[in-house]
Structure 1
Amino acid sequence: MPNKIIQKSRMWKYFIEATVNIIQEEGMDQVTIRKVADRAGYNSSTIYNYFKDLSHLTFFASMTLLKDYTNELASYIKLGDTPLDKYKLAWECFSKYSFSQPEIFHTVFIMDLGAQPEKLLEEYYEIYPSDLINIPESIKPILLQRSVFKRGESMLNIAVNNGLINKNQAEDINEMTNLVWQGMLTTVLNNRTNYDIDEALKMTMKYITKIIVNETEK
């Protein structure tokens, strides 16, 4: 590996680790460039040699906190018999972890990161390739999509190709299930509900299941 890449990887990890520590100890809203630089032992200006802005740094730090979710996703999907079963189980796994880590999932999947967010995912896995070692090949294309909508689309296309639903049904299912999840995540994130994590998950899956059943019965 060229020395330049090794140096970039080392510096990234210093700053990302410092950011993770602040998130875990003080919360996402307490992360600043100055705090990260101080923790990592560098000047604030050095961070901008490796990260465009603070949102990119918190994105990469949040990605390191998704490992439990990414490691369990394949186990969930494996339990499904049909593509639609697998789609629903993927949502169950995603919702379970997102409601327990709403700020992390908001940062990774919803927050505005500017242009080409998928490029940021590629950069992350270049620095942390070990995160994909135990991930089945069939799951990797999903994880390399930052857009939750595109993740769902890729799974539902399998159901379309298998003749379980048509393209219009797939589009409607994908749009409505995304809106249900986003609504619940926003509610949980803003403390606008008395639901605990299990109740939020139960309600979300109730409506996602209804959407899939109603669309497939048309």
Structure 2
Amino acid sequence: MTGLRTLKKQRTHEAISSAAISLFLERGFDEVSVAEVAAAAEVSKPTLFKYFASKEDLVLHRIADHLGEAARVVRQRDPGEDPLAALHRHFLTGLERRDPVTGLNDHEEVLGYHRMVFSTPSLAARLFQHMAADEEALAEALAETMDALPAALLAGEVIAVQRVLARRNWSELAAGTPIADLHPAAVAAADRAFALLRHGVAGSGDGGPPTGRREAG
């Protein structure tokens, strides 16, 4: 009976989520009420809120599934592998399997999903809350291998790099770049970004004032 109840809950959760995403993509997040989502999923509004605490969570639970992922990568890395190398490898693996979280996925619903999240203020704000939690978890994992301050700084940089790379990949696909053409460029961008994390932007030739311009002071 416990197994059947769990299965029923999973099916209800998925039905609500699918109905919500479908309606939001069709009409826009702000144009669809929670009551309409509940009706489409054939559940009551109170039942919906038992599964999703807010309207935004109807969308972002798909991203929330990745919460703590960077911290897990660090803690479960191969013996002798340094944390940054493990995070780099994990991102490249995500690109290879076209993980939507890397932005490199050209499925119509995935492209529309990202467009909705990036263009809806309340969703974008909630996304940054998730990222802050991810950053904190990663900082704690890194602090097991280094001092707390560099761990916190590196965690913030890693989460920012992942966000920028994913946004760039999605933007290129949304602009019409074929995914087969974009994949090598996405890999090269990831390699460059993680190299900058390791060696520092200022020391790479990518930072500082343009040639011929003097720094103030």
TM-score, normalised with respect to structure 2: 0.52
| Counterparts of 1:29 and 1:155, CA distance in 2 | 41
In the other structure, the counterpart of 1:19 is: 17
Matches within 5 A, 1:1-218: 6=5, 10=8, 13-20=11-18, 23=21, 27=25, 32=32, 33-44=34-45, 46-61=47-62, 77-78=77-78, 81-93=81-93, 97=99, 98=101, 99-100=103-104, 103=113, 111-113=124-126, 147-160=133-146, 166-190=147-171, 196=179, 198=183, 199-214=185-200
| Counterparts of 2:54 and 2:194, CA distance in 1 | 36
Q: Calculate the aligned-residue CA RMSD, in Å.
A: 4.7
Q: Which amino acid aligns with 2:154?
A: I
| Counterparts of 1:167 and 1:93, CA distance in 2 | 28
- CA deviations on 1:109-158 (whole Å, 9 max, x unpaired) are x84449x96xxxxxxxxxxxxxxxxxxxxxxxxxxx97231243134223
More displaced, 53-62 or 27-36?
Answer: 27-36
Give structure 1 stretches of 5+ with no counterpart: 118-144, 161-165
Give the aligned length: 171
| Counterparts of 1:57 and 1:39, CA distance in 2 | 13
In the other structure, the counterpart of 1:139 is: none
SS in 2 for 1:176: helix
TM-score, normalised with respect to structure 1: 0.52
Give structure 2 stretches of 5+ with no counterpart: 118-122, 204-217
SS in 2 for 1:158: coil
| Counterparts of 1:20 and 1:172, CA distance in 2 | 37
Identical amino acids, percent of aligned pairs: 10
SS in 1 for 2:87: helix
- CA deviations on 1:10-41 (whole Å, 9 max, x unpaired) are 45641433423664798487564355323422
1:167 deviation in Å? 4.3
| Counterparts of 1:34 and 1:209, CA distance in 2 | 48
- CA deviations on 1:146-183 (whole Å, 9 max, x unpaired) are 723124313422331xxxxx544433333323222222
More displaced, 30-39 or 81-90?
Answer: 30-39
